[in-house]
Chain A
Amino acid sequence: MKVLVPVKRVIDYNVKAKVKSDGSGVDLANVKMSMNPFDEIAVEEAIRLKEKGAAEEVIVVSVGVKQAAETIRTALAMGADRGILVVAADDVHQDIEPLAVAKILKAVIDQEQPGLVITGKQAIDNDMNATGQMLAALLGWGQATFASKLDIDGDAAKVTREVDGGLQTISVKMPAIVTADLRLNEPRYASLPNIMKAKKKPLDEKTAADFGVDVSPRLEIVSVKEPEGRSAGIKVGSVDELVSKLKEAGVV
């Protein structure tokens, strides 16, 4: 079985996003970029399936700017086998919407025929939480989102999901889409020898046009602004003072 892992290049999660002064978006020029943390968890899970003998090949796909090749190389250094880069934008500020990404991924999947797709539950830039579900819809596949545990059980995937109020375990027929939540695993660090080896692994480059997908946005970004600030209150010196302040405020 092939496992396909879509990954996104996003602002590094330790970098504070700053809104551009013209209100057109968040400044991404000369900002550290990394693999979306949830996608890193997805890559790790796919590699573990291969190590367990449940998968033969792990293919990493990224849709975006050409610099996303670096993100694919990161996944290859972790242990993925090969990569496919689909260049769909020139400007690092142009975000390709989940619907267009899902259409491109569907075209890739039609060619590659994986048995399972694992991706992150959401990207930490646009916070859409949509690509996996949209891809499942377009393929007519079942979906298991927000996974915290994954077991392959014959021709089905048994997935424990993080839902409001607790956990749910479902069985989804394969081929299927699984989206990774935080606690699915802890991704490994790539070792230096593996980083060197990754440079020699195959990485195909395509464009959105190769798949005939129109990536023009459905959602026009009218403006982007900073959230309203909240000012600091006061420091209290003791628990007694805190209790009396809370009573004054009428919240206890």
Chain B
Amino acid sequence: MAVLLLGEVTNGELNGDATGKAVAALKSLGDVTVLCAGASAKAAAGDAAKIDGVAKVLVAEDARYGHRLAEPTAALMVALAGDYDHIAAPATTDAKNVMPRVAALLDVMVIPDVSAVIDADTFERPVYAGNAIQTVKSKDARKVLTVRTTSFDAAGEGGGAPVEDATLADDPGLSSWIADEVAESDRPELTSAGRVVSGGRGIGSKENFEIVEKLADKLGAAVGASRAAVDSGYAPNDWQVGQTGKVVAPELYVAVGISGAIQHLAGMKDSKVIVAINKDEEAPIFQIADYGLVGDLFTLVPELTEKL
């Protein structure tokens, strides 16, 4: 039994957290080969080789893999698929773009957002915005899946897996890259941050979101937002925490002006310590918060920022 894992490589850098957690999730299924594909991927492959539990690293360094385009990467994975029983990736937006395409090309179902590996055929995954956990047993000969990384512990470092060049596959040439608009930020990346401060509809405006950002910066935290805040235009979509956004599980999660819709809770309820600040003491967020503070966020949050 062998696993082909698509490493998360962005602009030549390996996302070691997401990739390492996916390795930890899957190594019980067999030897894990990590594929690093990108316009620049050799450095990422070197980093992937150090992850504990990685048996081999394949590197596909070519301009065609440079801009997260689904078609060339899917074609590459399908060309490599023959040697593997499980084809997987951490459940990032890039993997969610690529992996269903890989699955359909192999005529198998994709098993997205795996939160527990029961055995080689059987997996748990959240459905209905986290309101239910489904256990599915795949009848397909080959399994294509994505891993919800917050459900797994990070793999250690210290491995020294061999790195080999992968045979490149033809680029179907169906799409091309035009531009990236990456938010420049010194803050930690949302899904792997140790601390997250999120704002909800209660923040009231895009300008007021500064209150949330100041607290986050004081804590060295990433900034998140509820879907309601994103919908209202207070925060960009890539800050969205929840079933339709990002799933986070930091040591500390501070929810400011967030009522606690189930779809938001699905994205953060595995956080170690949850703090909720909200003026409505009946807000559902208080039912899962370790520490709740009822009151006006516009006075409480600046006060908290000052006193930390």
The interface residues of chain A, by DSSP majority, are classed as mixed
Q: Which of B67, B99, B175 contacts A172 (CB 8 A)?
A: B175
Binds A, one of B44-52, B161-169, B286-294: B286-294
Q: Which of A165, A220, A230, A240 contacts B238 (CB 8 A)?
A: A165
| A158 interface residue (CB < 8 Å to B) | yes
Question: In the bound complex, do residue A218 and residue B109 qualify as a contact, i.e. CB atoms below 8 Å apart?
Answer: yes
Q: Which of A102, A136, A145 contacts B96 (CB 8 A)?
A: A145
A16, A18, A137, A170: residue with the most chain B Cβ atoms closer than 10 Å: A137
Q: Which of A133, A218, A232, A236 contacts B97 (CB 8 A)?
A: A133
Question: In the bound complex, do residue B100 and residue A98 qualify as a contact, i.e. CB atoms below 8 Å apart?
Answer: yes
Question: In the bound complex, do residue B132 and residue A239 qualify as a contact, i.e. CB atoms below 8 Å apart?
Answer: no
Binary CB contact string for chain A from 153 to 182 against chain B (1 if under 8 A, 0 otherwise): 000001000111111111111001000011
| A224 interface residue (CB < 8 Å to B) | yes
**Given A133-B104, A219-B111, A239-B293, does the pair A126, B127 have CB atoms closer than 8 Å?**
yes
Question: In the bound complex, do residue A134 and residue B219 qualify as a contact, i.e. CB atoms below 8 Å apart?
Answer: no
Give the chain B neighbours of A29 by CB distance below 8 A: none
| A125 interface residue (CB < 8 Å to B) | yes
Closest CB in chain A relative to B12 CB, distance in Å: 14
CA distance A133 to B293 in the complex (A): 43
Question: In the bound complex, do residue A243 and residue B304 qualify as a contact, i.e. CB atoms below 8 Å apart?
Answer: yes
Give the chain B neighbours of A128 by CB distance below 8 A: 100, 110, 112
Closest CB in chain B relative to A193 CB, distance in Å: 28
How many residues of B are counted as interface, with CB atoms below 8 angstroms from the partner's CB atoms?
92
Give the chain B neighbours of A59 by CB distance below 8 A: none
Question: In the bound complex, do residue B308 and residue A243 qualify as a contact, i.e. CB atoms below 8 Å apart?
Answer: yes
Closest CB in chain A relative to B222 CB, distance in Å: 12
Give the chain A neighbours of B63 by CB distance below 8 A: none
Residue of A nearest to B130 (CB): A227
**Given A127-B112, A242-B293, does the pair A137, B101 have CB atoms closer than 8 Å?**
yes
| B206 interface residue (CB < 8 Å to A) | no
Residue of A nearest to B18 (CB): A164
Binary CB contact string for chain B from 88 to 131 against chain A (1 if under 8 A, 0 otherwise): 00001110111111111101111111000000001000111111
Question: In the bound complex, do residue B136 and residue A221 qualify as a contact, i.e. CB atoms below 8 Å apart?
Answer: yes
Q: Which residues of B does A touch, CB under 8 Å?
A: 10, 67-71, 74, 92-94, 96-105, 107-113, 122, 126-140, 172, 174-183, 189, 191, 195, 219, 227, 230-231, 236-238, 240, 243-244, 246, 251-252, 262-263, 269, 272-275, 281, 286-294, 300, 303-304, 307-308
Instruction: Identify the 8 closest CB pairs spanning chains A and B, nearest first.
Output: A142-B174, A233-B290, A133-B100, A134-B104, A137-B104, A130-B100, A17-B128, A218-B109
30 A-B residue pairs with CB within 8 Å: A16-B131, A17-B128, A26-B127, A98-B110, A99-B104, A124-B243, A128-B100, A128-B110, A133-B70, A133-B97, A134-B110, A146-B96, A164-B94, A165-B10, A166-B181, A218-B108, A218-B138, A219-B136, A219-B137, A221-B134, A221-B135, A227-B126, A230-B288, A232-B289, A233-B274, A234-B292, A243-B304, A246-B291, A252-B252, A252-B308
Q: Which residues of A does B touch, CB under 8 Å?
A: 11, 13, 16-19, 25-26, 97-99, 102, 122, 124-138, 140-146, 148, 158, 162-173, 176, 181-183, 217-227, 230-236, 238-240, 242-243, 245-246, 249, 251-252
